[in-house]
Structure 1
Amino acid sequence: MTNPLGVHALVWVGGTTPTDVATAVRQTKAAGYDLLELSLHDAVNLDVAAARAALEEADIAIACSRGLAFDADVSSDDLAVVERGEKLLHDSLQITHDLGGTHFTGALYSALGKYAAPLSSQGRANVVQVLKGLAAEAAERGMTLGLEICNRYETNVINTAADALRLADDIGADNVTIHLDTYHMNIEEDSLDGPVRLVGERLGYVHIGENHRGYLGQGHIDFDAFFAALAEVGYTGPITFESFSSAVVSPTLSNDLAVWRNLWDDGMDLATHARGFMATQLAAHGA
């Protein structure tokens, strides 16, 4: 397999305290993964130096992700709100770099939550301007940005691969890539393979999640079609398993993502099953 296989830290822990990160790194290694994805929603509690040391000792790569809040939303018409969001993005890019990561991804363009109205033209212009600046800083550091496509209940900025490509074109930076997530695709796209082909070589990061966010293969997502398309376009980037349950509670993200029920309570069993599932799919499709 050429694709690094990753797991989201929220499979293990709800925050990013030193104890949380140490646990997440240890469990990620034990489950056989190459990469840990860390959400920066709890960055105020993150000891960056200690986290980097733990990652390096375990030989685990890092990718970071985040969404914004409604009071720090770069898609807002209110410039003071946009400025707060812009600062969060640049601070998060710095943290990702200091952790040793090169992938900073997520809903970098809006708050995570249901909007009451469509995106305004001014709001979209603000997104483009902010992400142009963030992309320029990322390029200086040899880093890429990922535009994670989220469903209509979590953002009004980009909901499909076609939306994301238009936004990336307007940003106009080679290091801005598209981030596909099978959970969101299941809601918004016509198929699981078409968007992969549409994005093609601009695909930079992948989230694998079942339609109910639980055990892979126990829902109705067509993973065969998705992994076949990844092989067809020659995707060699990270493939990260993402799942949420009320068994692991993040005070902010659990509410933002509507994690109301227990889909699983044994993160290690879930994660080892997911790694085996993804490896089998990659092998089956010659990736």
Structure 2
Amino acid sequence: MNKIGFNVLAWSAVVSDELLPIIDRLKGIGYDGMECLIGSPDKVAYQRIGEHVRSLGMEATCVFVVGKDENPISEDAAVRLKGLDRIKWAIDRAHDMQAKVVCGPFHSAHAIFAHHAPQEQEYGWGAEVLHAAGEYAAQADITLALEALNRFECYLCNTMEQLSRLLKAADHPNVRAMFDTHHANIEEKKVAGAIQTITPLLAHVHISENDRGTPGDGHVNFDEAFSALANINYTGWLTIEAFSRNDPDFANSIGVWREYSRPWDIAEDGFKFIKQMCQKHGLDEQVSVNHAL
């Protein structure tokens, strides 16, 4: 059964009690889950948020990134080990929340580039780290859903073809893939073909507009995306990831320099849009009716 989620990065990158009223309102709109960034150091905050989410009958998923000093594809083995340790830390925080999915581009350091195209050795290093991370995630029954990013944020995996190559090399059932409509809109020739390529490994989907505003307000070909997901009988999360300048530090770190849509407009209109697209393309019977309960 598909479930609809919303990433609270539209308000804050910090996991704290300030998210509680936001989660409450998301529940009121009809969302089945919330997604948050794993990065805040307060371990107890993850437990509190997880408990609150469950008390509402919702679920949590998480997104995560790594930086230069913990790069899983660094030529320095010590840095790669730091990357694995950091991923394990993120898995622990997700476990604190009782989340079952940790998604994101943590196959390599975000926005750190080499002076060459991705190399075979780098895929090998990344696969080795991800396999070990998968072993750790399996103990907590957590799926790692790796993400391909556009060329301005990553050089290792821009497409589903590249991501599939990496994950097949990682060769672990808990190491799978995420598809993000924003990045695919930039990098893929055809959305349907990209989804078909990643189908055997697909575990999570981000619904995100070309400008990171309200899904359906831009030019992403959502008809093609939802049709392709229906054709492969996709039953995972459909989670909106949109950004704003509500959290200036986070916004500055990812190049968000203007408001695309107001966060609550994104949440309310985006939920309606996903429901409409699911009904139009035959996913409506799979989507949770949590909002009607």
Distance of aligned partners of 1:184 and 1:239 in 2 relative to their CA distance in 1, 3 Å threshold: same
Q: TM-score, normalised by structure 1?
A: 0.93
Cα distance 1:168–1:107, how it changes in 2: closer, same or farther (>3 A)?
same
5+ residue gaps, structure 1:
none
The equivalent of 2:286 in structure 1 is: none
* Matched residue, 1:127: 126
Q: Give 1:38's match in structure 2, choosing from 21, 36, 46.
A: 36
Tell me which moved more, 78-87 or 148-157. Answer: 78-87
Match for 2:196: what amino acid?
A: R
Correspondence for 1:103: 101
Deviates more, 1:118-127 or 1:160-169: 118-127
Deviations 1:152-176 (A, max 9, x none): 1111111101111111110111222
> Counterpart of 1:13 in structure 2: which amino acid?
S
The SS at the match of 2:173 is coil
**Distance across 2 between alignment mates of 1:165 and 1:174:** 13
Residues 18, 46 of structure 1: 8 Å contact kept = no
Q: Helix, strand or coil for the counterpart of 2:98?
A: coil
Deviation at 1:270, TM superposition (A): 1.5
* Count of residue pairs brought into register by the alignment: 282
TM-score with structure 2 setting the length: 0.91
Is contact 1:180-1:203 (8 Å) kept? yes
Question: Which whole-Å deviations, capped at 9, do the CAs of 1:106-132 have from their partners, x for residues lacking one?
Answer: 012111115142334443322111111
The Cα offsets for residues 249-275 of structure 1, whole Å up to 9 and x where unpaired, read as 152x323321111112x3222201000
- The one-letter amino acid paired with 1:67 is V
Counterpart amino acid of residue 268 in structure 1: W
Is 1:185 the counterpart of 2:184? The answer is yes
Paired with 1:96 and 1:80, the residues of 2 have a C-alpha distance of: 25
Partner of 1:144: 143
3-state secondary structure, aligned to 1:193: helix
For 2:21, the equivalent position in structure 1 comes to 23
Q: Is the 8 A contact 1:25 1:55 kept in 2?
A: yes
The within-5 A match list for 1:83-232 is 83-117=81-115, 118-232=117-231
1:44: how far off?
Answer: 4.0
In the alignment, what sits opposite 2:278?
Answer: 282
Instruction: Please name the residue that 2:58 is paired with.
Output: 60
Alpha-carbon distance, 1:239 to partner: 0.6
**Distance (Å, rounded) in 2 between the aligned partners of 1:79 and 1:171:** 17
Contact 1:160 1:189 in 2 (8 A): yes
Give the match's secondary structure for 1:158.
coil
- Counterparts of 1:71 and 1:254 in 2: how far apart (Å)? 21
Structure 2: which 5+ residue stretches go unaligned? 284-293
Corresponding residue to 2:78 among 77, 80, 83: 80
Aligned CA-pair RMSD? 1.6
Give the letter aligned to residue 255 of structure 1: N
> Alpha-carbon deviations, 1:173-229, whole Å to 9, x = none?
122221000000011000121111122242100001111111222211110011000
Q: CA deviation at 1:75?
A: 1.4
- In structure 2, the residue matched to 1:271 is 267
Counting aligned pairs with the same residue, the percent is 29
Is the CA contact 2:64–2:106 (under 8 Å) kept in the aligned structure 1? yes
Pairing partner for 2:257 from 240, 256, 260: 260
Residues 5-39 of structure 1: per-residue CA shift (max 9 Å, x gap): 000011233421222x3133223212210011111
The 2-side partners of 1:122 and 1:105 are apart by 23
Offset at residue 142 of structure 1 (A): 1.8
Equivalence map 1:233-252=2 (5 Å) = 233-246=232-245, 248-249=246-247, 251=249
Distance 1:30 1:72 in 2: 39
3-state secondary structure, aligned to 2:70: coil
Pick closer, same or farther for the CA change 1:45–1:260 going to 2, 3 Å: farther
The answer as to whether partners of 1:108 and 1:147 remain within 8 angstroms in 2 is: yes
2:124/2:169 contact within 8 Å kept: no
Could you say if the C-alpha distance between residues 198 and 124 of structure 1 is closer, same or farther in structure 2, counting changes exceeding 3 Å?
Answer: closer
Deviates more, 1:54-63 or 1:221-230: 54-63
